[in-house]
Structure 1
Amino acid sequence: MTSAPPQKRPQATQQLLREWPPGYGGIERVAHELAMVWGGVVWSLDAQNRSSSEQDAILACYPRRRLARTPPLGRLVLPLPSTGLWSLLRSDQPLHGHLPSIGVLLVLLVARLCRPRRRVTAHWHFFFEPASGLSGRFFSVYQWLALRVVCGLPGVITTSPLLKQELLRCGCRPERVAVLPCCLSDDQEAAALVLKRSPSSSSAHQPMRVLFIGRLGSYKRLDWLLHSLAELDQAWCLDVVGDGPRRLEFEALADQLMGSQSDQLVRFHGRLPEADKQQRLLEADLLVLPSQSSNEAFGIVQLEAMAAGVPALAFQRWRSGMGWVCQLPALNWSQTPQDLTPVLQKLAGDPALLRELGVQARLRYQQLFCRSIWLDQLKRWSNPLNSSQTPVGFRARG
């Protein structure tokens, strides 16, 4: 009796991205979670010089390498000739690049040209918003070029059905584009799913507890949330978790809008350890992600809230899936900035609805975004590619 030949293990997949993973941004976190499954070296252009100074937000147990690059010119960084770049281009291991980044795009293109039979794939994280001026024209040219390149790759991952539809409209072949929503780590998911809501949460005797988690930068639009909350005639309080260049500006706006009650109504916590962030989620009734740009294409913080049984509000933007992530059957609203104040007013006055939305949020997370589903989807996408077959896109429910 002859034994079956041993099965060939899939090759580890190398990744390339602009920033240093795992970091605090969505792209870095996605690359990190893929590396935890795929193994392989994660290469970075380290655009913000964090490889030597950044304290890892999440433990990274996979090899990371920094490519030599040009000094940043605005957001533009390009790889320089180096032994690391030569090693990356000569390798026959699969290569997966995270876009947008013109530096990453160029490496993907050269890798594809150098070794046509090598598996080179891309992760399309978001589309740029149309903009005027020199920078707007630059991003438009980059995006046009990026779409031409990814249309010729054997596999492209994006994060929501809305982004897949837009990639198809731009010329990508349906069988080559797959939807793989973002995910939480094992530890994050386990901690969130066991959180028990306080019996007094969302009661008529307490203010509605609103939570904002994110970088205090230009397109997050915490100012919109502050203006909307200031107009409510129901009781509320807001916890702001995160830091960034506009923090002082937002703090001043809160003082201006809330006056002497500002310190009681709005609390700026800065960056928090994971355990402290979980505590904020435990105490929250509602997460609001008031981003105005398609640069916010998903919003992983929504998953953290939904897994903990906290509903989220986000805007529906062209070329963005962030509004799709948090849609719940019991809350039918326009998902536009103009209607943020009315929907907050409605929720502040209806504790029973808030509790129902919390149940629906956790259920939606478990049905669409939980890690076991993510792992299954990733495996279904990877297997045809590992077999040198044309990848097929899997279905994203919801």
Structure 2
Amino acid sequence: MVDDTPNVLQVCTYYYPHTGGIQRLVRALVTGIDDVNFRIVTSQTRGRAAVDEKHGTTVVRAGCLGEVMSTPITPGFPYRLRQHLDWADLVHYHVPFPLGPVSHLLNRVDTPYVATFHDDIIGKGPAIYPYEPVLDRFLDGAERIIVTSPQMRDECARLAGVRDKAAVVPIGVDADDTPVSPKPLDGRRLLFVGRLVDFKGVDHLISAMADVDARLSIVGKGPERESLERHAREEGVTDRVTFEGFVSEERLDELYRAANLFVLPSSAPNESFGIVQLEAMQRGLPVINTSLPTGVPYVSVDGETGRTVPPGEPAEIAAAAEDLLADASRYRRYSENAQRRVRETFTRGQMLEQTLAVYRDALAAD
């Protein structure tokens, strides 16, 4: 009997044990879609090339010399990719990851491919100018382009010429079918979860805490931690702001459940979606996010599941937090709406079904 199960090659910057939003998404795809054979081609965070298995999937890791501007320096990546292109019926690239598009075009193969356009390359300056036409050519050649929100499809200038083949597939999380149970307003605790990098806007959140009668837990690690701790001292809020660092899944769940509000204060469009909003919303937390021209305000909707404020405005964050914490009735309504929105729009099952449909369309179109 001939096995007609399609082989799909996932191509991404890093994979587990490195963790992040793209890694969680790729893991969900390779463990959740049963009608596809998967392999992953990725980079080491540092060190020699290797092949191993994670989550029941072969992971091919190109050797890495280090990282520049969040991009691994992996001279052998085009070769590692070429080794597995003959196996693949379809390649699924996750961008931004310059080595993926560059390696595909260098190999001059005709294997059909789709690309999840997580976000554009932003804030890198002249260094990316030579890459921009490469990325445009790569996107033009894709059978389908997956974006995670209507805003990314409709407002991103990079996609202006390829919107006709863009499919909106929101990121999804596990959501059970237990009855919606709004969280009671039983405290004044705020929570942030994410990498401590500049565009996350955590400095604005810390500044806001000077005008919020509450406590804040900051979960995550990154290059900005030292400066953020210094900023907390300068604002005089160290007694109410706790830096948790990297925490276990069990501890993270405890912090989500202990919190009363979740804040995603991102200040630049590098934040394309904010999956942590979903993790908070499914636990009944209203969200304060920012009005970026990305999927961030699409995930949590202003006046329905929380409040959306202008980016980079601590006073607006503080006012939104005090407003939500002062009205128990509205708080419960937003809490209920948040859980319902996740279950209606952002489930992992929906994401897997929609991604599989994109694969089938791409294979049929080839």
TM-score (norm 1): 0.80
1:159-208 CA distances to partner (integer Å, 9 max, x unpaired)? 11111113577444444211111122x4xx45x9789666xx424xx4x2
Contact 1:302 1:312 in 2 (8 A): yes
Give, in whole Å, the separation in 2 of the partners of 1:258 and 1:194. Answer: 42
Q: Note the 1:319-398 alignment, pairs <5 A.
A: 320-330=294-304, 331=306, 333-338=308-313, 339-386=316-363, 388-389=364-365
The answer on whether the counterparts of 2:195 and 2:220 sit within 8 Å (CA) in structure 1 is yes
Is 1:246 the counterpart of 2:224? The answer is yes
Structural mapping, 1:267-306, within 5 Å: 267-306=242-281
Distance change (3 Å), C-alpha of 1:298 and 1:50: farther
**Distance 1:324-1:143 versus aligned 2 partners, 3 A rule:** farther
Question: Does 2:87 correspond to 1:91?
Answer: yes
User: 2:48 and 2:342 mapped to 1: Cα distance?
Assistant: 32
Sort the Cα spacing of 1:353 and 1:43 in 2 relative to 1 into closer, same or farther, 3 A. same
Distance 1:51 1:355 in 2: 51
Q: Which moved more, 1:220-229 or 1:24-33?
A: 24-33
1:63 paired with 2:52, answer no
RMSD: 3.0
* Distance change >3 Å, CA 377–CA 219, structure 1 → 2: same
Gap change, CA 1:122 and 1:143, over 3 Å in 2 = same
* TM-score of the superposed pair, with normalisation by structure 2: 0.86
**Are the aligned partners of 1:20 and 1:51 in contact in 2 as well (CA < 8 Å)?**
no
CA distance in 2 between counterparts of 1:316 and 1:138 reads 28
Which residue of structure 2 aligns with residue 224 of structure 1? Answer: 204
How many residues get paired? 357
Alignment partners' CA distance in 1, 2:322 and 2:69: 41
User: CA–CA distance in 2 between the matches of 1:141 and 1:180?
Assistant: 30
Q: Which residue of 1 aligns with 2:144?
A: 155
Alpha-carbon spacing, 1:360–1:162, altered in 2? closer, same or farther (3 Å): same
**Gapped runs of 5+ residues in structure 2?**
none
Q: Is 2:193 aligned against 1:213?
A: yes
**What's the counterpart of residue 128 of structure 1?**
121
Can you give the 5+ residue segments of structure 1 that lack an aligned partner in the other structure?
Answer: 1-5, 391-398
User: In 1, are the aligned partners of 2:169 and 2:355 still within 8 Å (CA)?
Assistant: yes
Correspondence for 2:131 among 139, 142, 152: 142
> What residue identity is the alignment partner of 2:15?
W
Q: Does 1:202 align with 2:182?
A: no
% identity of equivalent residues: 24
Amino acid at match of 2:275: I
**2:7 paired residue among 8, 12, 18:** 12
Whole-Å separation in 2 of the counterparts to 1:7 and 1:257: 67
Question: Residue 24 of structure 1: SS of its match in structure 2?
Answer: coil
Structure 1, 282-291 or 350-359: larger mean CA deviation: 350-359
Quote the Cα distance in structure 1 between the aligned partners of 2:222 and 2:78.
Answer: 33
Cα distance change on mapping 1:372 and 1:74 into 2, 3 Å: closer
Deviation at 1:301, TM superposition (A): 0.6
- Measured in 2, the distance between the counterparts of 1:266 and 1:224 equals 13
2:283 to 300, 308, 322: 308
- Could you tell me how far 1:70 is from its partner in structure 2? 5.7
Query: Partners in 2 of 1:222 and 1:75 — Cα distance?
Result: 19
Q: Any idea what the Cα deviations from partners look like across 1:13-54, whole Å, max 9, x if unmatched? A: 1111112336321122222222222441111122455999xx
Greater per-residue strand proportion: 2
Q: Deviations over 1:315-364 (max 9, x none)?
A: 1223x211211114435654433332321221232232222111111111
Larger radius of gyration: 1
